[in-house]
Chains A and B, each alone.
Chain A
Amino acid sequence: QTVVTQEASFSVSPGGTVTLTCGLSSGSVSTSYYPSWYQQTPGQAPRTLIYNTNTRSSGVPDRFSGSILGIKAALTITGAQADDECDYYCVLYMGSGIWVFGGGTKLTVL
């Protein structure tokens, strides 16, 4: 059973830069897993941030960027703002019609 790993929590200072990662319990994440990233504030539906590793969804500011860093997918937020404080989820396509979400990262801006 493949597990998609994310940091449980992360903290960043206002105006700072933070990189959240998305890995596999076994193996490396590559573009072949079509990594994508979603933002969710409490009580709200998820919002699509990044798809196809590094393509920003419509309306997403360029403070958010996606990449592959080493063996993981990564979401980098530059110039962190107070309203970036929420949960971030990655999801990987495993092939054969199966997707697996990471456990999510709770980002604190303080």
Chain B
Amino acid sequence: QVQLVESGGGVVQPGRSLRLSCAASGFTFSSYGMHWVRQAPGKGLEWVAVISFDGSSKYYADSVKGRFTISRDNSKNTLYLQMNSLRSGDTAVYYCARALGPKLGRYFDYWGQGSLVTVSS
């Protein structure tokens, strides 16, 4: 069965960096685009970034553009989110999600359980 397991979250000071990972199993990882979606405490879902199946295309929400980088290692079946210059507003649970549809997909079908990132001094 499809499994997505995020890791790497924690407490980090403003201005510092953190890298999240999402380990995928149960499907051919290299055939699917992947997304990061976040949810601030008590708030709604916010789309963060997407990467194509081969890593050749990447897109970001304006709120993270220039600070976050999405990447993948298909040999390790792992998705990453490098988060730099973190702000208090980046505090959230970060979910990875598999894209459904060609190349970048148009929907999300499977979701991980999330990893909490807290930006605080």
* Alpha-carbon distance between A82 and B95 when the two chains are bound, in angstroms: 26
> Judging by beta carbons under 8 Å apart, are A46 and B57 in contact?
no
> Judging by beta carbons under 8 Å apart, are B59 and A89 in contact?
no
* A interface footprint on B38-75 (CB within 8 Å = 1, 0 otherwise): 00000011110010000001110100000000000000
* Alpha-carbon distance between A87 and B97 when the two chains are bound, in angstroms: 18
Answer whether residue B107 sits at the interface, using C-beta atoms and an 8 A cutoff: yes
> Judging by beta carbons under 8 Å apart, are B111 and A101 in contact?
no
Contacts of B104 in A (CB 8 A): 97
Within 8 A of B (CB), among A56-110: 57, 87, 89, 91, 93, 96-104
> Judging by beta carbons under 8 Å apart, are A48 and B108 in contact?
yes
> Judging by beta carbons under 8 Å apart, are A52 and B111 in contact?
no
> Judging by beta carbons under 8 Å apart, are B44 and A89 in contact?
yes
**How many A-B contacts at CB < 8 Å in the complex?**
64
Known A46-B95, A98-B59, A103-B44; judge A51-B50 contact (CB<8 A): no
Minimum-distance CB pairs A-B, first 10? A97-B59, A51-B107, A34-B106, A99-B47, A104-B44, A45-B111, A36-B107, A101-B45, A103-B44, A93-B106
Q: Which B residues fall within an 8 A CB radius of A?
A: 35, 37, 44-47, 50, 57-59, 61, 95, 97, 100-101, 104, 106-114
Q: Which of A36, A45, A93 contacts B95 (CB 8 A)?
A: A45
Contacts of B101 in A (CB 8 A): 34
Give, as a whole number of angstroms, the nearest-CB distance from A59 to chain B: 11
Contacts of B47 in A (CB 8 A): 91, 98-101
15 pairs, CB–CB < 8 Å, chain A vs chain B: A34-B106, A34-B107, A46-B111, A48-B107, A51-B106, A52-B107, A57-B109, A93-B106, A96-B59, A97-B50, A97-B59, A97-B104, A98-B47, A99-B47, A104-B45
Q: Which residue of B lies closest to A36 (CB)?
A: B107
Contacts of B44 in A (CB 8 A): 87, 89, 101-104
Contacts of B95 in A (CB 8 A): 45-46
* Alpha-carbon distance between A93 and B41 when the two chains are bound, in angstroms: 24
Q: Which residue of A lies closest to B106 (CB)?
A: A34
Known A97-B50, A98-B61, A102-B44; judge A51-B111 contact (CB<8 A): no
